[in-house]
């Protein structure tokens, strides 16, 4: 069974950079990696998507190494409002695997 | 853009009754919609993939006769939980893939189902 795993939880102080890694050893050639943020009792919210190397948008960066067996979401300077659960999603034409989720707690 | 709505946001029903949840893509056409279930403090579990005009594809272990999915148009999919039981209580979330898009999905706000 293909697994997409993440650390269960992370803590960070306000203003710090946070890196969350997702392991997806069985990634297929056509799979993309997408990261989502989820607050309690809400649907996931899109953060960033990539295929390989580095992608950056106004809120985050996504690093995917050449072998694509992992990906790292980088949040540059977290604030208290970034406290949430972060999920990676590996998806292709015929498959879809959510990661186990990482609960990020930002501390004042 | 790319907004997905769900209705209702929360519902309480009695054991043995059926509940219908609607998922709509408000400003785009979605040839594919997905239905997920999420239990407390767990990741999202894909239940089924719904393509407009065809039968849904269910994940292993999901009963297709219990969770009826209809995707009659490019902007609407419905999930009906039939003969609901307390163990069906969960957070149900839909998502939609933009027609012609890559693999990005837009998620609805979720529906909290409580079966008493």
At residue A73, the 3 state secondary structure works out as strand
| Digit-coded pLDDT (tens) for B64-84 | 999 999 988 889 999 999 999
Q: Which of B43, B104, B110 sits opposite A98 (nearest CB)?
A: B43
**Tokens representing residue B1 in the block:** 């853009």
Torsion angles phi and psi, residue A28, rounded to 5 = -90, 160
User: What residues of chain A lie within 8 A of the CB of B49, using their CB?
Assistant: 96
CB-neighbour burial class of residue A77 (10 A; exposed 0-12, middle 13-18, buried 19+): exposed
In this complex, the residue of B43, B95, B104 whose CB is nearest that of residue A101 is B43
State mean pLDDT over A74-87. 97
Structure tokens at B50: 């719904």
User: Which pLDDT score is estimated for A3?
Assistant: 77
pLDDT at A95: 74
Residues B4-55 have pLDDT tens digits of: 999 999 999 999 999 999 999 998 888 889 999 999 999 999 999 988 888 8
* The predicted structure's pLDDT at residue B52: 82
């Amino acid at each position: 069974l293909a697994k997409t795993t993440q650390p269960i939880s992370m803590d960070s102080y306000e203003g710090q950079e946070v890196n969350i890694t997702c392991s997806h050893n069985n990634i297929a050639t056509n799979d993309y990696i997408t990261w989502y943020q989820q607050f309690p009792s809400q649907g996931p919210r899109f953060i960033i998507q990539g295929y390989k190397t580095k992608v950056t948008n106004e809120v985050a960066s996504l690093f995917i190494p050449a072998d694509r067996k992992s990906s790292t979401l980088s949040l540059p300077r977290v604030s208290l409002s970034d406290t949430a659960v972060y999920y990676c999603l590996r998806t292709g034409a015929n498959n879809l695997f959510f990661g186990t989720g990482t609960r990020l707690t930002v501390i004042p | 853009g790319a907004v997905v709505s769900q209705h209702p946001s929360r519902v309480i029903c009695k054991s043995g009754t059926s509940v219908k949840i609607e998922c709509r893509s408000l400003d785009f056409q979605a040839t594919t919609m997905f239905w997920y279930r999420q239990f407390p403090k767990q990741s999202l579990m894909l239940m089924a993939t719904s393509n407009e005009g065809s039968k849904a594809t269910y994940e292993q272990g999901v009963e297709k006769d219990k969770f009826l999915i209809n995707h009659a148009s490019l902007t609407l999919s419905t999930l009906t939980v039939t003969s609901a039981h307390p163990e069906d209580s969960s957070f149900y979330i839909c998502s939609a893939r933009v027609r012609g898009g890559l693999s990005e999905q837009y998620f609805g706000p979720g529906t909290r189902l409580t079966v008493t």
